[in-house]
Chain A
Amino acid sequence: MTEQLPVDVRGLVKRFGRTTALDGLDLRVRRGEVHGFLGPNGSGKTTTLRVLLGLLRRDAGVARLFGADPRRDAVELHRRLAYVPGDVALWPELTGGETIDFLTALRGGVDQARRDSLVDRFALDPTVRGRAYSRGNRQKVALVAALASDVELLVLDEPSAGLDPIVDAEFRRAIGEERDRGRTVLLSSHVLSEVEALCDRMTIIHRGRTVESGSLLELRHLTRTTVISELAGPVPRLDDLTGVHTSQLDGRRVVCEAEPAAMQELMRRLASTGIVRLDVRPPTLEQLFLADIARDTGVETS
């Protein structure tokens, strides 16, 4: 292989004393993709990113950035990436502008025009001191510093938490541009609509373990589609179909969830009665998320 994966994590284990934060986590990010990293609170997203940055040691498993060791080759690797922490703390006496220039200078200089346009686009006042920024504005300072740097990989920990809708839209546009420029983005989030809108592929983790990984399309194969239908006649019998769960039935209206394998038969039966209206919804990420987690918890408890 000539191309090294930007992020390659296999069987990563990290313990803090008696708590196991990461318990055999897998994460693979390909070059040039925007990768969503999803998981509930405390599932180990931040811990994984901090291991990848060499801030934490790993207890077992493999963690590689561009094929290199995140701790041994930290300085070299950090030339190629920029990080935005989840909870950005700034230096209280430095202004936003000074902080951006300091961070970009550490990463080896910045294109001033690009920096200024980002400051404008994110509607950031660079003359305010760190202690006076609101949470969203602190986030913006770190984001501008990361986006303005000329790097191959962006590591963003819940980047849009705290941003208002207008800035959030701007942020999404900026990520789109980064992808077009060929940069790789690893982005953790709880905001599922954001991941749906932004990411090419995603990895879902729970309790420090990877539950699911792939493109949204691939993951959708695994779960149920919601079918809402109004029929011409009385609803036919559906409860003998395996893989179909009827959740609502009133007269001629039916709401059910169907697994991919049962779709064909469900549609045939509904059509035989005569369909007046049909609404078929692909699974939302929320459903994916809850289904995965339910399965994972089920495995653990059984």
Chain B
Amino acid sequence: MTPGWPSGTGLLLRRALRRDRVRLPAVVLGLAGTAALSAAATAALYPAASDRAGAVAAVRATPALVAVYGPLTGAGSAGALALWKLGTLGAVAAAVVAVLTVVRHTRAEEDNGRAELVASTPAGRLAPLVAALLAAACFAAALTAATAAGLVLTGVSWADAAAFAAVWGSAALVFAPVAALAAELAGSARGAITAAVLALLAAYVVRAIGDADDPQRSWLVRVSPLGWGELVEPFGTHRWWLLVFPAAAAVLCSTAALVVHGRRDFGSGWLPARPGRARGSRLVHGPAGLAWRRERGLFAAWTAGFVVVGVLCGSVTSRVGGLVDGPRMREVVAALGGPQAVTDAFLAAEFGLLAAVAAIVVAAAVLRAASEERARRADLVLSAPLSRTRWLLSHLVVACVGGVVLLAAAGVSVGLTYRPGSASPLAEVGRSTAAALAQAPAVVLVACIAAALYGVGRGVAAAVWPVLVAFILVAEVGPVVGAAPWVLDLSPFTHVAHLPGGTYDVMSTLWLTAIAAGLVVVAVAAFRRRDLA
């Protein structure tokens, strides 16, 4: 790399950190706090070493669980058990935040034209990119420090805490330059985020297949950036030297991004812009058509991702058949959300996770209305004979349909690859698709919350993110740490049926639907009354 920073890097870095002064500290505190809370709560749940040993053995004997959450290493300290579920998921969350941060300060700035202002100043050509990477590195460092400190405070040993935190930090460190590279190659900020998140998903899936096979020896674990963290074994052998891999990958990817950036025309992607059609198609003749046209690429990419995860889960679950159905395991699996047979509980947990991801995608699609308004494109559309109600509902409906399609894609692909032996393939597809779709009310409810917040004001629309993160944490981590029932009740994800295996409660679906309908009424009423700004 070139000696010395490009001129203006310091200034741009300070500006980036200032813009992120709320969101990044919030994420750091949220993740570190969740880790500390889990550690404290689990210690209380399994006071005796024998309790813990049983739970650890149960987890280890269940490849499907290991595939989703990663291996449970070490001798079964309270910390290991508490943080097992969080390790990989937290790394994924940290990586997503790093991706969003880098794209926000690079490609998004280019898209909205501000980067051009910066480029016309004496600031170095590479300065914005370097500053964005450094901002992500600051996030990674802060996350590592805060997580380690939080864990040490709750009684986790110093070395375990540091190693666990370093795994999270290294995930952010690796995927920040991946996002930078995606930002260089893709033609837009949305394209860059999609590409980087799909790379992350691929890393997760590759690692999951490897872990299901054998967490220690599979080469699949070793090639996945998310697998490197597991191999460090935060609660086992502490192979610190393995952190060299993420560091090297980060340097390599950053260099590649900087090289591409040096050769690329400002504002364009790597692929040359192709001319498009001279006339509009019939499909794009209404607001819903336009919203669909804008979202379809994104939904197609996510559908592919859901299909891959579905296929993986289906095939992994098929091998769980010979599993020992011991009491300890039931206990652990029950903590995951269902007292049913292990495979069913696993699939139900899996659909729960996918529903959380689908909710994120759907909320982002609803909030596209906010970016339409900010860019003043909404002015163009709403000065046409089109009611505000119809415009807002078009965004909501397209988002919800997209979310349902995602869930159905996951359900169908699980059904096609899952071979429990007795059931006919068609029946299995029906069963797992129904199970996946049982999550839809929660996803739709999240979309309606996003719409209601946006309806009240463009500025408050982003409040859907902390709300959604809280919902996901309550549903995923809440049962493990033994949260009070009223806390669990706050999340819509705990109210949908956990199928297969669980019971389908018509009443709770009706309740969720009623609340969603109420939110839509609020959204429309508020949106019709307010200024468009």
Q: Which residues of A contact B379 (CB under 8 A)?
A: 50, 53, 55, 83, 85
Segment at the A interface, from B9-17, B234-242, B380-388:
B380-388
A94 lies within 8 A of chain B by Cβ: yes
Indicate if A255 sits at the interface (CB-CB under 8 A): no
Instruction: Determine if A131 and B188 form an interchain contact, defined as CB atoms under 8 angstroms apart.
Output: yes
Closest to A135 in B: B113
B275–A95 contact, CB under 8 A?
yes
Check A91–B294 contact: CB distance below 8 A.
Answer: yes
- What is the chain B residue whose CB lies nearest that of A157? B379
Chain A residues in 8 Å Cβ range of B377: 89-91
B294 touches A127 (CB 8 A): no
- Does A101 lie within 8 Å of B111, measured CB to CB? no
In the complex, the answer to whether B278 meets A126 with C-beta atoms within 8 Å is yes
- The answer to whether B286 has its CB under 8 Å from any CB of chain A is yes
In the complex, B375 has a CB within 8 A of chain A: yes
Report chain B residues within 8 Å CB of A82: 383
Instruction: Tell me if A74 counts as interface (CB < 8 A to partner B).
Output: yes
* Pairwise interchain contact A55-B385, C-beta atoms closer than 8 A: no
Return the chain A residue nearest B289 by Cβ: A102
Determine the chain A residues whose CB is within 8 A of the CB of B387 once the complex forms.
74-75
Q: How far is the CA of A103 from the CA of B385 in the complex (A)?
A: 10
Q: Is A44 an interface residue (CB 8 A)?
A: no
A77 CB to nearest chain B CB (Å): 8
Residues of B within 8 A of A126 (CB): 278-279
Choose among A56, A90, A107 the residue that contacts B385 (Cβ–Cβ < 8 A). A107
Chain B 280-299 near chain A by CB (<8 Å), digits 1 or 0: 11001111001001100100
The reply on A236 being an interface residue by CB < 8 A is: no
For residue B304, CB closer than 8 A to chain A, the reply is: no
Q: Which of B512-533 contact A (CB under 8 A)?
A: 529-533
Q: Are A89 and B376 in contact (CB under 8 A)?
A: yes
B280 CB contact (under 8 Å) in A98, A108, A142: A98
Contact assessment for B275 and A98 in the assembled complex, using a CB-CB cutoff below 8 Å: no
With A127-B275, A127-B276, A132-B273 known as contacts, the answer to whether A89 contacts B385 (CB < 8 A) is no
Residues of B within 8 A of A128 (CB): 275-276
Known: A83-B383, A89-B376. A129 touches B294 (CB 8 A): no
Q: Contact flags (1/0) for A205-239 with B, using CB distance below 8 Å?
A: 00000000000000000000000000000000000
Q: Which residue of B lies closest to A105 (CB)?
A: B285
Given contacts A76-B385, A90-B377, A131-B188, contact A105 B531 (CB under 8 A): no
With the chains together, A82 CA to B385 CA distance in Å?
9
Task: Confirm or deny: A265 has a beta carbon within 8 angstroms of a beta carbon on chain B.
Answer: no
A99–B294 Cα distance when bound, in Å, is 12
CA distance in complex: A92, B371 (Å): 12
With known contacts A75-B385, A95-B276, A128-B275, A102–B376 Cβ distance under 8 A:
no
| B502 adjacent to chain A (CB < 8 Å) | no
Contacts of A83 in B (CB 8 A): 379-380, 383
Q: Which residues of B contact A91 (CB under 8 A)?
A: 290, 294, 377
Whether B384 and A103, one on each chain, are in contact in the complex, defined by CB atoms closer than 8 angstroms, is yes
A100 on the B face (CB < 8 A) = yes
CB contacts (< 8 Å) of B188 on chain A: these are: 92-93, 131
B284:A102 contact, CB within 8 angstroms: yes
Measured CB to CB, the nearest residue on chain B to A85 is: B379
**In the complex, what residue of chain B is closest to A112 when comparing beta carbons?**
B279
B-facing mask of A94-128, CB < 8 A → 1, else 0? 11011111110111100000000000000001111
Chain A residues whose CB sits within 8 angstroms of the CB of B533 once the complex forms: 56
Chain A proximity of B290: nearest CB distance (Å): 6
Q: Indicate if the CB atoms of B278 and A78 lie closer than 8 Å.
A: no
Question: 1/0 contact trace for A63-89 toward B, CB 8 Å?
Answer: 000000000001110110111010111
Nearest-neighbor residue (CB-CB) of A14 within chain B? B531
In the bound assembly, the distance between CA atoms of A106 and B284 in angstroms comes to 10
Are B386 and A127 interface neighbours, CB within 8 A? no
Which residues of chain B are near A89, meaning CB under 8 Å? Answer: 375-377, 380
A81 to B376, CA, bound (A): 18
Chain A contacts for B285, CB-based, 8 A: 101-102, 105-106
Q: In whole Å, how far is A242's beta carbon from the nearest beta carbon of chain B?
A: 49
Within the assembled complex, what's the spacing in Å between the Cα atoms of A219 and B26? Answer: 59
- Given A106-B286, A129-B273: A78 and B383 interface contact (C-beta under 8 Å): yes
Q: 1/0 per residue A143-160: CB within 8 Å of B?
A: 000000000000100000
Whether A57 sits at the interface, judged by CB under 8 Å, is: yes
A253 to B499, CA, bound (A): 98
B523 to chain A, nearest CB (A): 18
Which single member of A56, A76, A88, A155 contacts B532 (CB below 8 Å)?
A56
On chain B, the residues within 8 Å of A129 by CB distance are 273, 275-276
Contact assessment for B385 and A79 in the assembled complex, using a CB-CB cutoff below 8 Å: yes
The closest CB in chain A to the CB of B375 belongs to: A89
Question: Which B residues touch A99, using CB under 8 A?
Answer: 280
Selected from A87, A107, A131, the residue in CB contact (under 8 A) with B187 is: A131
B301 to chain A, nearest CB (A): 14
Contacts of A90 in B (CB 8 A): 377
Residue B21 is within 8 A (CB to CB) of chain A in the complex: no
Tell me if A97 and B277 are in contact (CB < 8 A).
yes
- In the complex, the chain A residue whose C-beta lies closest to that of B529 is A57
Q: Residues 79-114 of chain B: 1 if any A CB is under 8 Å from the residue's CB, otherwise 0? A: 000000000000000000000000000000001000
Asked if B386 and A55 sit within 8 Å, CB to CB, the answer is no
Complex alpha-carbon distance, A197 and B88, angstroms: 68
CB distance from A127 to the nearest CB of B (A): 4
Closest to B530 in A: A57
Q: Are A97 and B279 in contact (CB under 8 A)?
A: yes
Q: Which residues of A contact B276 (CB under 8 A)?
A: 94-95, 97-98, 127-129
A301 to chain B, nearest CB (A): 31
Q: How far is the CA of A57 from the CA of B267 in the complex (A)?
A: 36
A101-B279 contact, Cβ under 8 Å, with A56-B532, A85-B380, A106-B286:
yes
Please give me the residue from chain B that is nearest to A81 by CB atom.
B383
Complex: A55 Cα to B382 Cα, angstroms: 8
Contacts of A79 in B (CB 8 A): 385
- Chain A 264-293 per-residue mask, 1 if CB under 8 angstroms from chain B, else 0: 000000000000000000000000000000
CB-based nearest B residue for A88: B380
Residues of B within 8 A of A (CB): 111, 187-188, 267, 273, 275-281, 284-287, 290, 293-294, 297, 375-377, 379-388, 529-533
Q: List 26 A-B contacts (CB under 8 A).
A: A50-B532, A54-B382, A55-B382, A55-B383, A57-B530, A74-B382, A75-B385, A78-B384, A83-B380, A87-B376, A89-B377, A93-B188, A97-B278, A98-B281, A98-B284, A101-B280, A101-B284, A102-B280, A103-B384, A105-B280, A105-B285, A106-B286, A126-B278, A126-B279, A127-B277, A142-B380
The 9 closest A-B CB pairs, nearest first, are: A101-B280, A83-B383, A106-B384, A127-B275, A95-B276, A97-B278, A98-B280, A78-B385, A105-B285
With contacts A75-B387, A89-B377, A129-B273 known, what are 19 further pairs, Cβ within 8 A? A89-B376, A91-B294, A91-B377, A92-B111, A92-B188, A93-B297, A95-B276, A98-B277, A98-B279, A98-B281, A98-B284, A101-B284, A106-B385, A107-B384, A126-B278, A127-B277, A127-B278, A131-B187, A131-B188
